[in-house]
Amino acid sequence: MTPQHVRVVGTGLIGASIGLALRAKGVRVSLHDPSPTARALARDIGAGELDVMDEPDVVVVAAPPDVVSAVVADELKQWPTAVVTDVASVKARVLAQVRATVDPAELRRYVGSHPMAGRERSGAVAAQGDLFEGRTWVVCPAPESDPVAVTAVQHLASDCGAATVTMPASDHDLAVASVSHVPQIAASLVAARLRDISDEAIALSGQGVRDVTRIAASDPMLWTQILAGNATAVAPVIDLLAQDLRRVSEALQELGPEASPAEGARGVLARVIADGALGHARIPGKHGAAPTAYGTLLVIVPDQPGALGRLFNDMGDAGINLEDLRLEHGVGAQVGIAEVSVLPAVMERLKTVLEDNGWSVHE
């Protein structure tokens, strides 16, 4: 059943986004944050009310990972009947700390969780009410959790628009090491290599480097806490990555101008790219569905006001839905290239419609 009153403690990016999502569903949301600015900002963007002292049905703790367990323990004590969840990116350590702090009876009302959605920005100023729409939200019951509390947290996640997956905290931590924590380190390391290159070199940046480094803009304080909190699960995956990098480095050295490459050096490089394609193809689509293979067309878009709008209109008039869009701008170019993705079944018709409307189209 949808909770009627949810208290959000920690009103930054995730807390305020949860408030916005629940308010849109008609849920009463009360907000608390030790920072007066953070809580006033969340209230001002419409994420909920301040200074409410009625007992909530559910408390969501959306504070930084290193204080989450202490805040969960305080909330369990302050509200004797409320279900308490937290949304920290690491789960086993938080559970162990809560278990060590609270009474067994209180522990029954705690169920950890983690929305697999977020942004590389912090604070309520970056909050979005649709942040969790169609994304996965992991619910991690403890063996001690009351099934009623587990259901309440699953409903909360669904009310925010997410699809829930339920698993033990330790399984969650192993999974996010590979799908979230190591990708963050990889993005940061690749982006750090850009710091000292020349202005001429950085000006050549295209979509590839942007895709690989978007999350490198993340908050260092938050991520230090996340990585330290899941160090045991992250370390072995990083070791495997380091071995792969060493093999690539050796192959590249063999292929250098001075060397006579050993047999297999090109094979190592080809295998890295091919294995990457296989790993990438496994990433699921929305709600964990199988990835959809879209058809993609490249459309030349003149650098003029309204050109992109005309392209969208021409597609809309033909009843063709745009599934994904990327824009490339060459340095000093008078045109951009729009990479337009649609369902494979409408590819041929899209090409005809666009050419008939005078667009220059490439496959």
Ligand X SMILES: O=C(O)C(=O)Cc1ccc(O)cc1
Ligand Y SMILES: NC(=O)C1=CN([C@@H]2O[C@H](COP(=O)(O)OP(=O)(O)OC[C@H]3O[C@@H](n4cnc5c(N)ncnc54)[C@H](O)[C@@H]3O)[C@@H](O)[C@H]2O)C=CC1
Among 3, 112, 115, 129, binds ligand Y (CB under 6 A): 115
- Which DSSP category does 214 fall into? G
Quick check: 34 binds ligand Y (CB under 6 A)?
A: yes
The interface region with ligand Y, picked from 31-39, 265-273, 292-300, 320-328 by CB under 6 A, is 31-39
| Number of CB atoms found within 10 A of residue 152's CB | 22
Which of ligand Y, ligand X, none lies near 48, with the C-beta cut-off 5 to 8 A by kind?
none
Which of ligand Y, ligand X, none lies near 11, with the C-beta cut-off 5 to 8 A by kind?
ligand Y
Nearer to ligand X by Cβ, of 17 and 89: the residue is 89
Q: Which of residues 140-179 bind ligand Y (CB under 6 A)?
A: none
Quick check: 33 binds ligand Y (CB under 6 A)?
A: yes
Q: What are the DSSP calls for 167-179, one per residue? A: --HHHHHHHHIII
Q: Degrees (nearest 5) of the Cα angle 49, 55, 60?
A: 65
Could you give the CA distance from residue 157 to residue 133 in angstroms, rounded to a whole number? 10
Q: Contact, 339 vs 282, CB < 8 A?
A: no
| Number of CB atoms found within 10 A of residue 339's CB | 15
Among 5, 25, 99, 119, binds ligand Y (CB under 6 A): 119
Nearer to ligand Y by Cβ, of 12 and 141: the residue is 12
Which of ligand Y, ligand X, none lies near 215, with the C-beta cut-off 5 to 8 A by kind?
ligand X
Nearer to ligand X by Cβ, of 215 and 248: the residue is 215
Q: Which of residues 82-101 bind ligand Y (CB under 6 A)?
A: 87-89
Which of ligand X, ligand Y, none lies near 170, with the C-beta cut-off 5 to 8 A by kind?
none
Which of ligand X, ligand Y, none lies near 62, with the C-beta cut-off 5 to 8 A by kind?
ligand Y
Among 12, 48, 129, 141, binds ligand Y (CB under 6 A): 12
Binding mask 191-220 for ligand X (x = CB under 6 A): ------------------------x-----
| Residue 172 structure tokens | 């969650």
Nearer to ligand Y by Cβ, of 62 and 315: the residue is 62
Q: Contact, 68 vs 88, CB < 8 A?
A: yes
CB within 8 A of 241, min separation 6: which ones?
182, 186
Based on the number of CB atoms within 10 Å of its own CB, is 246 exposed (0-12), middle (13-18) or buried (19 or more)? Answer: exposed
Quick check: 89 binds ligand X (CB under 6 A)?
A: yes
Sheet holding 136-140, edge to edge: 112-115, 136-140, 163-166
| Least distance to ligand Y, CB of residue 325, Å | 23
- Which DSSP category does 110 fall into? B
| Least distance to ligand X, CB of residue 17, Å | 12
Nearer to ligand Y by Cβ, of 212 and 215: the residue is 215
Helix (H) or strand (E) holding 310: helix 307-317
CB within 8 A of 262, min separation 6: which ones?
254
The interface region with ligand X, picked from 41-49, 102-110, 118-126, 312-320 by CB under 6 A, is 118-126
The interface region with ligand X, picked from 40-48, 59-67, 113-121, 155-163 by CB under 6 A, is 113-121
Residues facing residue 235 across a β-bridge: none
Could you give the CA distance from residue 6 to residue 284 in angstroms, rounded to a whole number? 31
Q: Point out which residues bind ligand X (CB under 6 A).
A: 89, 116-120, 180, 215
